[in-house]
Structure 1
């Protein structure tokens, strides 16, 4: 069994600890948090051991989830790697690109596994659509959420948009050629709503919008490609793929009714297996640590998503300073 623990048991760390208790191949060693009251409460509620110090936990585990505040990721991760502990680091992988590079290089030097917590990679709808993805040329995503004070220590780009940055980087699979970005602070000093347009080296384009000041929740992504159109609702884990039926031809003429369109277009329903994405993420991580499965979201992937997110934030800051849309 792989002895596993959780460092940081706030809102998300609590759920990591909850699920790790019964992940196959893992033995839940316990949790640690620098808030003694929170630590005691979570340990009692979940029936797990509360470690008195971070180092005490690191001495007792083979693998650990890091769910402390982003600004502390590098300090905690490097201490864990020095202790020979495999890691799952919540997104973003670090506060700065320099810190992310230090984590990635240290893990490589020590032969340790680092997975980044981009949980949307394990969304059922996304997994269901993967067999139909064929070189998407345009990607559009909307991630909207009501205001929540938790997570507002960073801009919405690092809080929410980074999920979709990681998705498009992984699915397009090409380098970023240029990007435009704009953002507006509404309730906090940093951008609360932002839009980025990313141009890839192969000509593909992604248009990404994120907001944490919306009245409605939305987590949708669409892919446009030569073989058809994919629309996913990540909140429900469902979607659809629309494509021309094999052998079908569009009727001649300038007008085409809905009935005629449905006669030539095939709709493929996309639906996940209903598995909780966070559970799937933790199960995949434990398998990777044990050498029994692939590393789905590597530390390098987390660093690359952070690098693009920081470029977007830089463009937003330039726009705010100049009063003009920023370009790079």
Structure 2
């Protein structure tokens, strides 16, 4: 392990929030303990995400309310590695799965033979519920099958009724691919894995962030490193999904990996370069967690960047 990586790992292991320490121990150091397994729910981040939970497992109002609805809280809980057997977490997962499965009664509009679905909503819910113990629920199976049936020929998904069918939405496809990956990992569902792999191939066809013709960045915002990404596409979030698909060694991922390495600070950490959320007292897009302001070293961005670079063989954790 080089000096910069050792410093970054130490920083994560000393984080104030036990969820970060738990993830760093499990994924970067390779150790678990009883304290690690129970600690994540005791920290300030998870406590904030579970604050105000109601009897039905939700948090009042629209589950998709940005970013304080039950849907977004559950995705964050899943990404923080909370234990599925925590009764509060289980209740939140049940609430979200019931809500998203109920919505399957209303299939997406089909325009020129292509479903125009908000698949990232369904994919995020599927991924979180699969991580949190509900992959074997028949509602999760129906959800996965619906998502697969909405996939476009190029491997992605799109909600735009005006899209001509030439290209699906990278935003809509990223979290959908993640949800299918998580469901496939939990159940062995080959159709879900195949659909996720097709989406990963779509990203790689564009070298993660480049236009097919000119090679220029498709969108400058995709080059930033926010956390959380929510439903937005960006290079780091895409590389995480590519890594989970076992494709970080594909040559077409090299440009994005180079970009991620270039963003690394001299001290081995990464900044959050953008943020989609605002403080909890904001009137628009408030968050219940302070994930760290843009322009500062960020715990989750650093953790995710290390995950990706380790998977790609560009960072070693060996002493």
The TM-score, its normalising length taken from structure 2, stands at 0.28
User: Which has the larger share of helix?
Assistant: 2
Between Structure 1 and Structure 2, the one with more strand by share is 1
Which protein has greater RCO, CA pairs closer than 8 Å, 6+ apart? 1
Greater Rg, structure 1 or structure 2?
1
